[in-house]
């Protein structure tokens, strides 16, 4: 248990559906991240939020829309996804990465797009 | 663009043997992280290496960092089956906006320890 909780753990959705992934941390961290992990590529950073402000959008398609309403919660809204978007989506949080800090990861959401 | 390369990507070894996993990175960074991931599970932090020459050990795993060579190693001593997992190294990189940073990961090394 890392203190970062993701829901749902598994999600199957059609290409026309709209769904949201949720991430929650109560570690007092001020930065949150979305990563995508697929079989064909290494862990890819998607978005970074620092103090609830998006500071990085790693060329992610607009069908992925992040939201960070407060420092403890992070969402990833999904719509009109493609089958190649099927992957494990990992949320992480940290204090601003600095000397001695580290990122803690949630269990991930296994997404399948059909 | 920062590139992080791990090798080998797949490693099958016998219990009791020693081996080293290598992590090379392409631009300057003074912090490197090692994570472990079991199938279907999250990433678990193993080591945070903060400076050149840093060495940390936990059980049968020892990690080191050479920032001049841009190289980190994860050494496995007398492997046991429980060490079977995928191991990732990650390098901290400053973002262009503000003072935030991100982690750039290697592809991971899938380790299988056979009885």
What is the rounded distance in angstroms from the CA atom of residue A86 to the CA atom of residue A110?
8
Closest alpha carbon to B54 in B78, B80, B31: B31
What is the rounded distance in angstroms from the CA atom of residue A100 to the CA atom of residue A56?
22
- Higher pLDDT: A52 or A80? It is A80
Question: Quick check: A97 and B42 CB within 8 A?
Answer: no
pLDDT of residue B51: 84
What is the rounded distance in angstroms from the CA atom of residue A15 to the CA atom of residue B87?
33
pLDDT of residue B95: 75
What is the rounded distance in angstroms from the CA atom of residue A15 to the CA atom of residue B83?
39
What value, to the nearest 5°, has the Cα angle with vertex A95 and ends A93 and A97? 95
* Per-residue exposure over A53-90, b if at least 16 CB sit within 10 Å of its own CB, e if not: eebbeeebeeebebebeebbebbbebeebeeebbbbbb
| Interface test mutation site (partner A, options B97, B102, B107, B108, max chain A beta carbons within 10 A) | B102
pLDDT tier, A95 (very low <50, low <70, confident <90, very high otherwise): confident
pLDDT of residue A41: 79
Cβ pairs bridging A and B (under 8 Å): 65
pLDDT of residue B98: 59
In this model, does residue A99 exceed pLDDT 90? no
Please write the tens of the pLDDT for every residue from A25-70. 989 998 899 999 998 777 999 999 987 778 777 789 999 999 999 9
Closest CB to B97: pick one of A55, A96, A98: A55
pLDDT tier, A98 (very low <50, low <70, confident <90, very high otherwise): low
Question: Quick check: A97 and B108 CB within 8 A?
Answer: no
List, in sequence order, every beta strand (DSSP E) within B15-108: 19-25, 32-37, 43-49, 55-58, 61-66, 71-76, 85-94, 101-105
pLDDT of residue A47: 93
* Residue of chain A with shortest Cα separation from B93: A97
| Interface test mutation site (partner A, options B24, B32, B100, max chain A beta carbons within 10 A) | B100
**Type and span of the H or E element at A109:** strand A109-113
Burial of B13 (0-12, 13-18, 19+ CB in 10 A): middle
Q: Which stretches of chain B drop beneath a pLDDT of 50?
A: none
User: Which residues is A94 bridged to in the sheet?
Assistant: A31
Contacts of A39 in chain B (CB under 8 A): none
Question: Quick check: A97 and B100 CB within 8 A?
Answer: yes
Question: Quick check: B98 and A106 CB within 8 A?
Answer: no
């Amino acid at each position: 248990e890392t203190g970062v909780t993701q829901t749902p753990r598994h999600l199957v959705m059609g290409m026309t559906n709209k769904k949201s992934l949720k991430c929650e941390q109560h570690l007092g961290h001020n930065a949150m991240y979305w990563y995508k992990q697929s079989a064909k590529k290494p862990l890819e950073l998607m978005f970074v939020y620092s103090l609830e402000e998006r500071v990085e959008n790693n060329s992610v398609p607009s069908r992925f829309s992040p939201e960070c309403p407060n420092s403890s919660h992070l969402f990833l809204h999904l719509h009109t996804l493609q089958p190649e978007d099927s992957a494990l989506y990992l949320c992480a949080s940290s204090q601003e990465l600095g000397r001695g800090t580290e990122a803690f990861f949630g269990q991930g959401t296994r997404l399948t797009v059909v | 663009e920062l590139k992080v390369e791990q090798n080998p990507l797949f490693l099958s070894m016998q219990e009791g043997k020693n081996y080293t996993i290598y992590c090379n990175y392409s631009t300057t960074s003074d912090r490197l992280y090692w994570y472990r991931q079991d199938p279907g599970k999250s990433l678990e932090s193993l080591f945070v290496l903060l400076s050149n020459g840093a060495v940390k050990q936990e059980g049968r795993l020892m990690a080191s960092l050479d920032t001049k060579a841009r190289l980190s190693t994860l050494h496995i001593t007398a492997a046991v089956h429980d060490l079977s997992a995928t191991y990732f190294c990650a390098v901290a990189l400053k973002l262009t906006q503000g003072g935030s940073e991100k982690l750039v990961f290697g592809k991971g090394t899938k380790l299988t320890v056979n009885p």
